[in-house]
Chains A and B, each alone.
Chain A
Amino acid sequence: MRRNSISALRNWRRGPALWLLAAASIACFGYAAHDLISTRGSNNNIRQLVDRRDVPVDVKRAHPQEILARISESVRRDHIEDAQSILSIAGATLPPSVRASALYNIANARTRMAAEAVRKGQIDSAAAMINLAKSEYRLALKLDPQSWDTRYNLDVAMRIVRDLPQAETEDTTSSEAAKKLWTDLPGIPRGLP
């Protein structure tokens, strides 16, 4: 009797349990299908961008790799500002390694431009670009310290324009100069009579 009542209880729930299972599997199926379709779309975009076609990407919804592809293509077309704005919009949501790769690509573009400027003899603009590139390489290395390519290219960038500890030397000279200026000033009141 007791065993019967237990099995009765178990059997009693069969209908609702089946409905629940069906509902759960429908939800899971819908999610998986949507996920697969959107991933296919992302992969299609990535393939086209890697093939150097200028495909627009919805930055707020796109997969990180899609954003990386978009940034790389913008960089290749010398639209560094576009690449940077995409990165700053998507920045917080990207995983560190992808963000590091995007920064690395942007910095590479700047380094190449700086090398070109050096050849043309425009040392000042080259130095400005290299400084930006160096700070981007440094940020990329902080996000992904294991990236040997980033280290290598940072080393290359540092050699294009000489890297000196400018801030420190400038500081000491300027403060000395300031002091001198004050002591040499004529007409400082010497106190009340």
Chain B
Amino acid sequence: MRSWLAIAFLLVSAGGSSAAIDAVNIYEPRKFGYFIGDILERRVEVITSGDTQLFTAALPRPGPLTYWLDLVSIKHTEREASGRRIYDITLKYQIFYSALEAKRLDIPAFPLRFINPGSAAPDARAPGEPDASSQLGNYTASVPALGLVISPLREIAVDNLMPDKTIEISDIMRPDAVAQEISTAPKVQLLALSAAVLAVSGILLLSHYAVWPFARRAKRPFTQAERQIRKRQFAASGEAPYGDLLLILHRAFDQSAGRRVFAADVPEFIARHERFAGLSPKLKSFFESSQLYFFSGDRRLAEDRFPSSELTRLAGDLAREERAAA
């Protein structure tokens, strides 16, 4: 609940200058019921016309104003409304008065100074000179004093501390602040969540590559074939019997198609498994050399046409396409 009062200034002696302060509205907080440590906020609204500027260097500075009052902050903003420039000045005070009984204290009045940039700068004169105020009178808005009733916070009778020593100071004072333990619950939750995600992604990865628990995955004949071929190659240091490798890959084709696949079935196989379409030339040469190897007896030629390194690569490509498919 804020009361407000408006002080309208009649400007008679403008002296030809169009710049003027038209009105000062002060929005005051309540004037009673304050304790030590309370913060109060006053808002001053100055409506000006013409080329008037707030002389910000003359604003009160944050810090202690008197022994019982601090200016915590002062903020000013500027806005335009229907051709007028309006300055909003917000002042925040904090009270440090320890009252014995409800007592009224005044925040003293202070001026807000404005300058007209067209005329001489006010700081050209020494601040103590008397003609400065008369010249700048037109551009000064006064913020009136504010009376505050400050109430006592506690019973005063108790602190008879003097030598009889009936009361300890620590009995009167409020206790010290105690450090709180840091809550670990959210951190434990985060840990559990990330562990769960890690486990799930690990399982998905294992199934993706058909490793140990998923090694028998029926859907991954080519992955298994690739692994088998690599194992053979590794065991024989790259000199594994060519026929065995061909057979391993043939079994993988059979398993993948669900029946025997021969060279003539390749187009049908590709039509069913579109994913392998990109590999069709390689598939064809694989089946051709396999035919050469097993049925024409020209094993040397077959191995030259489609060497085992090529075969290993084909198996790898097939396995990759197979993984990508599902």
Contacts and interface: CB of A to CB of B under 8 A. Distances in A.
A66 B35 CA distance: 32
A68 B177 contact: yes
A21 B197 contact: yes
Interface SS majority for chain A: helix
Interface string B123-155: 000000000000000000000000000001110
Contacts of A75: 176
A49 interface: yes
A181 B131 CA distance: 30
Interface stretch (A26-34, A85-93, A171-179, A182-190): A26-34
Interface in B151-207: 152-154, 156, 159, 161-163, 165, 169-170, 172-182, 184, 187-188, 190-191, 193-195, 197-198, 201-202, 204-205
Given A28-B190, A39-B182, A104-B177, A18 B204 contact: yes
A96 B188 CA distance: 27
A152 B154 contact: yes
Contacts of A36: 184, 187-188, 191
Contact of B176 (A31, A46, A105, A165): A105
Interface in A111-141: 111-112, 115-116, 118-119, 138, 141
Given A32-B190, A43-B181, A153 B173 contact: yes
Given A22-B205, A32-B194, A159 B98 contact: yes
A160 B190 CA distance: 51
Contacts of B274: 4
Contacts of A142: 70, 72, 94
B156 A159 contact: yes
B191 A29 contact: yes
Contact of A65 (B173, B179, B187, B198): B179
A149 B173 CA distance: 8
A42 interface: yes
A18 B174 contact: no
A167 interface: yes
A25 B198 contact: yes
A79 interface: no
A68 B37 contact: no
Contacts of A119: 161-163, 165
Nearest to A138: B96
A30 B176 CA distance: 37
A65 B161 contact: no
A65 B182 contact: yes
By size class, the interface of chain A is 35 or more
Contacts of B174: 148-149, 152-153
Nearest to A146: B37
A12 B324 contact: yes
A165 B181 contact: no
Interface in B94-110: 94, 96, 98
Contacts of B169: 111-112, 115-116, 156, 160
A154 B98 contact: yes
Nearest to B197: A25
A149 B35 CA distance: 13
Contacts of B187: 32, 35-36, 39
Given A11-B326, A33-B191, A28 B197 contact: yes
A18 B205 contact: yes
A68 B162 CA distance: 33
Given A4-B274, A21-B197, A142-B70, A160 B182 contact: no
Contacts of B205: 18-19, 22
List the 3 closest A-B pairs by CB distance, nearest first. Answer: A69-B179, A101-B177, A115-B169
Interface of A: 4, 8, 11-12, 14-15, 18-19, 21-22, 24-26, 28-29, 31-33, 35-36, 39-40, 42-43, 46-47, 49-50, 63, 65-66, 68-69, 72, 75-76, 101-102, 104-105, 108, 111-112, 115-116, 118-119, 138, 141-142, 145, 147-156, 158-160, 163-168
Given A15-B208, A19-B205, 19 more contacts: A11-B326, A14-B323, A22-B205, A28-B197, A32-B191, A33-B191, A36-B187, A39-B184, A50-B179, A65-B182, A112-B169, A112-B173, A116-B169, A138-B96, A145-B38, A155-B154, A156-B154, A166-B67, A168-B66
21 contacts: A11-B324, A15-B323, A22-B202, A25-B201, A28-B193, A29-B195, A32-B190, A35-B190, A36-B184, A43-B181, A46-B180, A72-B177, A108-B176, A111-B169, A112-B173, A119-B163, A141-B37, A151-B153, A155-B98, A164-B67, A166-B67
